[in-house]
Structure 1
Amino acid sequence: MTNPAPITAAPALTRNDRLDRLPFNRQHGRLLVASGVGWALDAMDVGLISYVMAVLARQWSMSATQVSLLGSIGFVGMAVGASLGGILADRIGRRSVFVLTLVLYGIASGAMAFTTSLGMLLVLRLFVGLGLGAELPVASTLVSEFAPRRLRGRIVVLLESFWALGWILAAVLGYLVVSPTDNGWRWAMLAGAVPALYAVVARFHLPESVRFLEAKGRDADAERSVRVFESASGVAPMPSAPAAALPRVRARELFGHGHARRTVALWLTWFFVNFSYYGAFTWLPSLLAARFSLVKSFEYTLIISLAQIPGYFLAAWLVERLGRRITLSSFLVVSAVTAVGFGQAGSVGGVLAWGLLMSAANLGAWGVLYAVTPEIYPTRLRGTGAGAAAGFGRIASIVAPLAVPPLLALGRGGQGLVFAVFGAAFALAAAGALALPELRGRALED
């Protein structure tokens, strides 16, 4: 008589493996929407300043240099905020930084409505940038760490798609509120205080990252968070393998063994995407106003902004089919071609056609870039790495608005040279994207 084979217990999964095995459920949806609303409010604020620039250039008789400074000062804050926010996210938590930054930039944005001088406006815009810069990479990191691996890229691109909703809302406010009256821009800035109120909601609806909790030794909190997501999928909880303690983060590790090449490629991609996007879209209402009326320029910008939504959805579909690297580089190549076409367009139809294509391709690329960024670093470096890449990219967003007036002067007032430079920057970003690792379907590194 043979003895029966011994019954062995199933191997324990890590909490991150347990999250990866889940289907998309209502808890993922709540996290996506709660983070996405904050993302949309960010976009609304960034978008509104481009309309305020166009109006104040006339109301306050601002020079081109002053207008450029107003467009760039927020990005100075974003560069600092992105770097500091990433470091803080690895030390005090993703959710905590997300909420604090909503409060910071919401209060500063609302206060802009009461400014009476360019100096006051610049100081407040700097604080708005600090909050915005810190929040964006932290939100994408948080969502990425909860998303199942097979859907992670798609979910993060969908998070980024909320940017389109906020940008379109900014265009609507620009068209309906900013342009009709002299004080319309002040009412629009008051709308920027909404994030401070939303922070209260976000504090109670966003979970803290399981990976962060484990890294801090808060295993009980991490277990509760995982079980909430398992319950939403009807999956019974199971024992978890013990989580390893993580060493202290050192920023220089971004250029250490195993990370240097991907860091360089990522920073280059972030830099040139920021340069082209913020150079083009921050100035877009003002550039169109130079060719058409102020009201028409706001109307055309609104139409061009609508193309962002299909651009994001196409990127969300392709990112899990073709992979991150090919999707990102392809969208950036299309952005390069359409930027050059937009600069050469001579009719309203041409401006709208090239503008719609440029908007769709550019924002689709942004979605994939935010999906890629948190994936390429281990947990203990993830917030720092994502924030550092975003911070380096913001340097370009500072330079780009300042570069537009001299480029216009070199082009004798024409916009062809401006958008040719932006097209070249998109092409360089595509080259950087091709050097990034392909991590579709892989688990996040612990």
Structure 2
Amino acid sequence: MNASPVRMDDLPLTRFHWRIAGLTFGAHLTDGYVLGVIGYAMIQLQPQMHLTVVQEGLIGSSALFGLFLGSLILGWISDHTGRQRIFTFSFLLITFASFLQFFVTTAEQLIFLRILIGFGLGGDYAVGHTLLAEFSPRRYRGMLLGSFSVVWTIGYVLASVMGHAWINSDPDAWRWLLASAAFPALLITLLRIGTPESPRWLMRQGRISEAHAVIHRFLGAHVLPGDEIATVTTRHIGALFSSRYWRRTVFNSVFFICLVVPWFVIYTWLPTIAQTIGLEDALTTSLILNVLLIVGALIGLVLTWSLSRRRFLISSFLLLALTLSVLAFTSASNGTVILFLFVLFSTAISAASNLVGILPAESFPTDIRSLGVGFATAMSRLGAAISTALLPIVLVSWGMRAMLLILVAVLLIGFLVSVLWAPETRNLSLVEAADGELKPLEKIDEHSVGV
């Protein structure tokens, strides 16, 4: 007997879903590794290249500047040309630039290559989140998209393990650390060959027969497409600021910025910060705190499954702001309290970061989804890049307490914007979540959003 027809949104998880998820997760593993390893490489880079404070900041933030450009440009291209081409191109670029880091001789060369790596990673953020969201059944979409944070964190912690093990073993350990990202990147590039185009994107272009062919080949002959219709949205950046979507654009950009700025400021420079606040054996301490990020990411995955998106986000901003506020006024001699606060911060921000993979992908219609995800990612990476570059200067000029209080202000801005505009997209199809009108704040069902 033929199986009963079922829509893409209502499918159980299949082997194909896990394949797409695995290819996208591999990208986030590499991303976490690339961004995490630079903090350890900097321990050797600074004395060997006699880096100035400005050069240190630029090297630490260069991949983030690349992420800003790649998210914006490649996300926009993806909405015009499709997801699959950028899905492959991004990792060709990452593989090539990562390998060349081994041979750099100047700070300027390293900055340029890390901008290229970030450019590829930015495109992959925009397209990877979009592609997985457009293939995922609604019941499992939050879990799969939220898993990005878990996998990214594993990559980041792996960088910490490698850095901790290698950095004092050889004067050129920094070269091996930076170039080692080329190996997983090459593997992912090869495995991505043959990835199909998103049927939702094909439907929006009016390429109905191609969309059905992809669905039937990879999901089954009994599977029907979602409720996509032919394109109704102009595919340029101005659409993100139209009367219908500007609140989504502002919310996703601001909440994303306000989560990643504290993350990257603290964790890019974690070994340095640990030394500054007087924790003994700063490398070991920073490694332990990084490992705790995995625990937080797994907790966040459970909370994403069980709580409303809105309540989870708002509560996280409050907890993070409170934690850094207390840390700012804790004496440097009280190492036990400082370590506890760092543990709490690490766990909470890692858990909340699951939402950066979910909310942007659920907030925009198919024909501008990559553009919307890319724009939010770009803004977050620009904010993280600027703040990471300025950190050495802030520490020297104003001290640790001022830096922590600035981060508290950033988190409180995220809290306010989330209270005003955070939508509840849990258990909705992509069409319902992205194409429907956002409810005004005063009309939101308090039970459904959990506040």
Aligned to 1:366: 353
1:279 aligns with 2:268: no
Aligned to 1:215: 204
Q: What amino acid is aligned across from residue 110 of structure 1 in structure 2?
A: F
Q: Distance in 2 between matches of 1:167 and 1:399?
A: 20
In structure 2, the CA distance between the partners of 1:314 and 1:238, relative to structure 1 (3 Å rule), is: closer
Aligned to 1:438: 424
Over the matched positions of the two proteins, sequence identity in percent amounts to 27
Q: Distance in 2 between matches of 1:116 and 1:351?
A: 38
1:381 aligns with 2:368: yes
Q: Tell me, which stretches of 5 or more residues in structure 1 are unaligned?
A: 1-11
Q: Distance in 2 between matches of 1:103 and 1:240?
A: 31
1:35 aligns with 2:34: no
Residues 214, 245 of structure 1: 8 Å contact kept: yes
In structure 2, the CA distance between the partners of 1:259 and 1:111, relative to structure 1 (3 Å rule), is: same
Q: Distance in 2 between matches of 1:396 and 1:302?
A: 25
SS at match of 1:320: helix
SS at match of 2:222: coil
Q: Distance in 1 between matches of 2:331 and 2:89?
A: 43
Residues 80, 130 of structure 1: 8 Å contact kept: yes
1:327 aligns with 2:316: no
Residues 65, 382 of structure 2: 8 Å contact kept: yes
Superposed CA RMSD in Å reads 2.4
In structure 2, the CA distance between the partners of 1:349 and 1:55, relative to structure 1 (3 Å rule), is: farther
Give 1:292 deviation, angstroms: 5.8
Residue deviations 1:51-104, cap 9 Å, x none? 122321233332322211211222221111110121122122223212211111
Q: Which moved more, 1:296-305 or 1:34-43?
A: 296-305
Aligned to 2:396: 409
Give 1:265 deviation, angstroms: 1.6
Aligned to 1:141: 130
Residues 64, 405 of structure 1: 8 Å contact kept: yes
Q: What amino acid is aligned across from residue 273 of structure 1 in structure 2?
A: L
- In our comparison, the structure showing a higher alpha carbon Rg is 1
Give 1:444 deviation, angstroms: 0.8
SS at match of 1:315: helix
Q: Distance in 2 between matches of 1:370 and 1:282?
A: 20
Aligned to 2:445: none
* TM-score, structure 2 normalization: 0.87
Residues 340, 416 of structure 1: 8 Å contact kept: no
* TM-score, structure 1 normalization: 0.88
Q: Which moved more, 1:426-435 or 1:37-46?
A: 426-435
SS at match of 1:212: helix
Which of the numbers 382, 396, 399 marks the counterpart of 2:386?
399
Q: Distance in 1 between matches of 2:360 and 2:226?
A: 27
Give 1:410 deviation, angstroms: 4.1
What are the residue-to-residue correspondences of 1:8-407 with 2, within 5 Å? 18-204=7-193, 206-228=195-217, 230-231=219-220, 237=222, 244-247=229-232, 248-290=234-276, 296-343=281-328, 344=330, 346=332, 347-407=334-394
In structure 2, the CA distance between the partners of 1:57 and 1:337, relative to structure 1 (3 Å rule), is: farther
In structure 2, the CA distance between the partners of 1:345 and 1:28, relative to structure 1 (3 Å rule), is: farther
Residues 80, 133 of structure 1: 8 Å contact kept: yes
